[in-house]
Amino acid sequence: MMAMGQDPTENGSLAVSIRHAGDSAFLVEFGEHLSEQSNDAALAFERMVRVRRIPAIVETVPTGRSVLVKFDPLVSPFRAVRSALAELLDGIDWSRPKPMPGRHRWTIPVRYGGEHGSDLDDVARALGLSVDRTIEDHASSRLRIMMIGFAPGALYCGMHDARWALPRLPCAKPMVPAGSVSVAVRQTVIYSLPNPTGWRLIGQTPFRSFDPNRVPPSLVRAGDEIRFRAVSETEFLRLGDRALAGEPVAEREEIP
């Protein structure tokens, strides 16, 4: 039985649904599982909603495979907003949305292991690899920022290949430092601020993608691509000093 408010349709090979999220929001979902395909669709739809400037819509919040659309019911009634969203969804193959324009590819320096990555040895054992091979495999992964959230500036990047489908830790770490790089469930998360986490800590980056005192606060956006570069302790400290002085310290290039 479908949840109340769900209205799924098959759009290409990707199921799309509109769910009620209280009396002033809808949740538009793409697919049943997180994937690059469902993430492409969610990001493309969120941009479409913003560009169309539908009356009454006050905020859109993209996640890995869905978009929360908040609206003002005093400006436009529930049914009218839902119809407008359904009209946007109709006639588009969301399994093959157009690429997001203006994306960038970031190369982020990471100091792996040691005090910066206390779970790296355990991750390597779980993968059946040496520590050096684990670092190489992680750093060479082609990832994208699938969403930014949970904590300010936290970057959720995916998808690693299937062997990186590691479970979260049984007990959360009470706090990890800013720049922590952690893995679980085929994803890497990068925390811009100190944060508790149940993910497996493998390294730390001096790169600060988010700074509330900076304009704009975030250097990256969902849809950007990410890759990593292993650095020595000396370079990590040097780049950390530059980051404190306001330099991005990550390399950026435009994606054609």
97-23-18 Cα angle (round to 5)? 25
- Provide the pLDDT confidence category of residue 5 given band limits of 50, 70 and 90: very low
pLDDT at 132: 98
pLDDT at 8 over 90: no
| Cα distance between residue 247 and residue 225, in whole Å | 20
pLDDT in tens, 164-220: 999 999 999 999 999 999 999 999 999 999 999 999 999 999 999 999 888 899 999
Name the strand (E) or helix (H) holding 121: helix 120-127
What rounded mean pLDDT belongs to the chain? 93
Q: Which of these, 160, 157, 159, 154, lies nearest to 176 by C-alpha position?
A: 154
More confident call, 11 vs 15:
15
**Which residue has 């670092």 as its token pair?**
135
Name the strand (E) or helix (H) holding 252: strand 251-254
Percent of the chain with pLDDT over 90: 87
Are the beta carbons of 197 and 173 closer than 8 angstroms?
yes
Q: How many residues does the chain have?
A: 256
- Provide the pLDDT confidence category of residue 2 given band limits of 50, 70 and 90: very low
Widest CA span in the chain: 60
Return the half-sphere exposure (C-beta side, CA atoms, 13 A cut-off) of residue 119.
Answer: 24
- For 120, residues 6+ apart whose C-beta sits below 8 A from its C-beta are 112, 113, 131, 134, 135, 201, 202, 203
pLDDT at 54 over 60: yes
Is 104-254 a domain of CATH 3.30.1360.120? Answer: no
- Topology agreement, domain 9-89 and domain 104-254: no
Handedness of CA 104, 253, 249, 205 (dihedral sign): positive
Name the strand (E) or helix (H) holding 234: helix 233-244
Q: Is the pTM of this model over 0.85?
A: yes
pLDDT at 98: 81
- Cβ-in-10-Å burial (0-12, 13-18, 19+) of 128 comes to exposed
Q: Which of these, 221, 58, 227, 217, lies nearest to 146 by C-alpha position?
A: 221
CATH class of 9-89: alpha beta
Q: Which of these, 18, 33, 40, 147, lies nearest to 89 by C-alpha position?
A: 18
Domain boundaries, the chain: 9-89, 104-254
